[in-house]
Structure formats: C-alpha cells, structure tokens
C-alpha cells in the first residue's frame, strides 16, 4: 500500500514536532513538514524517515498552494500564540485567520481528503465560573471574555465548516487544553512550569500567579500528538470538534507536585493569587470519537517534564 502524503504546518513547534515524529514512526505516511524557518529542530525532523522539511511562510499563497497540491491530508498547527496575538492582533489575524482561509480554500481546490485543524479550549471563554459544568464541544460561541487568540481560532473553525458545507475538505477540529511535556516553549502556557524550575535551580523561591483552587485542563504532549494522528484517520469522525484535555487539576495540585518532583519543598512556593480560572472541559468525545480513554498520569508526566528540563539544561549549557 502506498503511503499517504500529509502536510503538517507548524511542524517545528512544540506539538508539531511530536506529531511529525509520531507520523514518521507509523511508516504509513510521507510527511511534508513546514514551518517558517529551518531551525535545528527542523533539521532533526528532516532526518526522520519519510519526512521532508520545507521552510515556508503560510502567508506566501503561491508556496502554500504548491505544498497543498501535493498532499492528501493536512494537519494545521501553525499559529501566532496567545501572548503574541494579544500584542500584535493584526499580524496574528493574518496568520491565524488569513492563512487558515487560504489553506482551507486550497484544500478544497486540490481535493484534500481531510483537514485536522488545531484549535484551543479557550474558545469557551474565561472559565470564570467555578460551578459551571464541563464545557462540551457544542458550547463554543461568542461570549464575554474572549481574547484575540480565541477569536481567531473561532473564526478558523467557522471557515472550516463553511468550506466543508460547500464541498471542501472534511475537517476535525481539535480544541487542545494546556499542553505540557518535553520541548515546551517558554512563552507557552507551560512556561510557568519552566520558570518555577528555573527559580528552584537558582535557589530562589518560585512564584505562581494563580490562586490555589484554580483549575487547569492539562494534556501531555504525547497524548495531544496521539489524538492528532488519530483524528487524521478516524472513520466517520468529520465536521466536528473534539476537546483534547486530561482530567482537571488544581493549581495547588499541579505546582506542589512539580516542586516535589524537582526535589524541593512546596512550602517555598509564593502564591500571588493574581489570577484564577476553572477550566472544566469535557473529554467524553475524545474517548468516544478518537478512542483516547486514558491520558498520561500527572505525576508521570511531570517527572518526564522535569527530566527533559534537566537534560535540556545540560545540552544547552544553561546553569542549573
């Protein structure tokens, strides 16, 4: 059987790199991995079996068409993330909405069989009600408290359905929770975890902005990557959204466990109580549609995260 060709955007990113590695390991795909620059991580991806890397700006429509026209399926993970989207909303719109439009339009034109669209659980709003039941996929809407990043993702989701309705590619939207694990970016939602470890290694007290009872919808990067690859092939699953989240965990549970695994005393944590949220998000569809019934245990996932952090410190010469 010939291998299917898959375009992965944002391939050198945190989640994207894990997705490309998983696709390569299956032996079932030829992967065209794209990102804006050819970095060291991109070179590592290009060395994998059945992976080609292409440095490309998604706003270059001609280059994007050349890539899409060679592929059977698309995984779209490239995005301007939350902090950057808030700081430069117009530039973020050009990527998060404009490039998504072009990708969906070209996928329709060239007969792409499926688009897996990376989205976010923050399309549900600010999670400011601790008594609200877990959000389900049908509850995404325009509501008070949406930020620029969430607004762009909602727009892209709507465009995916509009194109599919008019004969374009079927899609699966994945609303990822807070992703953590090896290769996390310092400016991602997992950045607080990295800064805590930085402080502990310097012998300083770590600082946490969250109230202790805040609830986070975490998902380990290995689970998020597995869900992404499953969404590419899941029979009968199309034109739908799926929350990709693990069990809810409080800030106190999360950061106390992280500090203990580091080998330090959780009593050292400075709780600033500046922010709160209650991210209760349903994972029922993740189990029923993508078959992901269990996710990485929190303690095991945090240990892997700390181990990676320490190895990264050694390899980069960063002082611990």
Task: Flag whether pLDDT at 277 surpasses 60.
Answer: yes
Name the CATH architecture for the domain at 4-178+218-244: 3-Layer(aba) Sandwich (3.40)
254: left (phi over 0), alpha (psi -120 to 50) or beta: alpha
Domain range 180-217+248-278+293-316, its CATH number among 3.40.1410.10, 3.90.25.10, 3.40.50.1100, 3.90.870.10: 3.90.25.10
Residue 134, judged by CB atoms within 10 A of its CB (0-12, 13-18, 19+), counts as middle
The pLDDT score that the predictor gives to residue 318 is 65
CA distance readout (Å), 144 to 122, 175, 282: 12, 19, 21
* Exposure of 28 in the CB half-sphere (CA atoms within 13 A): 9
Which tokens hold the place of 72? 């059977």
Backbone torsions φ then ψ of 53, nearest 5 degrees? -110, 135
Task: Domain ranges for the chain, please list them.
Answer: 4-178+218-244, 180-217+248-278+293-316
Average pLDDT value for residue range 92-99: 91
13: left (phi over 0), alpha (psi -120 to 50) or beta: beta
Contact criterion met (CB below 8 Å) for 209 and 249: no
Residue 80 CA to residue 91 CA, distance in Å, equals 8
pLDDT digits (tens, 9 = 90+) for 23-82: 999 999 999 999 999 999 999 999 999 999 999 999 999 999 999 999 999 999 999 876
| Model confidence band, residue 1 (pLDDT cutoffs 50, 70, 90) | low
pLDDT digits (tens, 9 = 90+) for 166-218: 999 999 999 999 999 999 988 877 899 999 999 999 999 999 999 999 999 99
């Amino acid at each position: 059987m010939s291998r299917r060709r898959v375009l992965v955007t944002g391939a050198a990113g945190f989640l994207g790199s894990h997705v490309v590695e998983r696709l390569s390991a299956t032996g079932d795909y030829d992967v065209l991995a794209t990102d804006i620059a050819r970095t060291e991580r991109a070179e590592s991806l290009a060395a994998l079996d059945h992976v080609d890397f292409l440095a490309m700006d998604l706003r270059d429509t001609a280059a994007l068409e050349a890539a899409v026209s060679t592929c059977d399926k698309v995984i779209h993970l490239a995005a301007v993330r939350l902090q950057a989207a808030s700081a430069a909303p117009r530039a973020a719109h050009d990527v998060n909405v404009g490039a998504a439009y072009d990708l969906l339009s070209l996928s329709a034109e060239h007969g792409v069989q499926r688009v897996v669209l990376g989205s976010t659980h923050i399309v549900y709003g600010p999670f400011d009600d601790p008594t609200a039941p877990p959000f389900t996929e049908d509850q995404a809407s325009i509501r008070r408290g949406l930020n620029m990043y969430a607004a762009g993702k909602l727009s892209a989701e709507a465009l995916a359905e509009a194109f599919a309705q008019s004969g374009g590619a079927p899609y699966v939207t994945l609303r990822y929770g807070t992703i953590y694990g090896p290769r996390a970016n310092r400016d991602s939602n997992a950045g607080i975890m990295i800064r805590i470890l930085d402080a502990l290694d310097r012998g300083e007290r770590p600082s946490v902005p969250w109230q202790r009872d805040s609830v986070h919808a975490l998902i380990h990067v290995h689970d998020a990557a597995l869900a992404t690859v499953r969404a590419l092939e899941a029979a009968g699953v199309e034109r739908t959204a799926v929350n990709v989240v693990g069990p809810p965990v409080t800030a106190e549970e999360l950061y106390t466990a992280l500090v203990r695994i580091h080998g330090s005393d959780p009593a050292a944590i400075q709780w600033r109580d500046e922010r709160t949220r209650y991210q209760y998000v349903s994972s029922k569809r993740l189990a029923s549609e993508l078959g992901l019934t269990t996710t990485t245990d929190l303690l095991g996932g945090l240990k892997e995260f700390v181990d990676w952090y320490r190895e990264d410190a050694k390899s980069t010469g960063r002082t611990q």
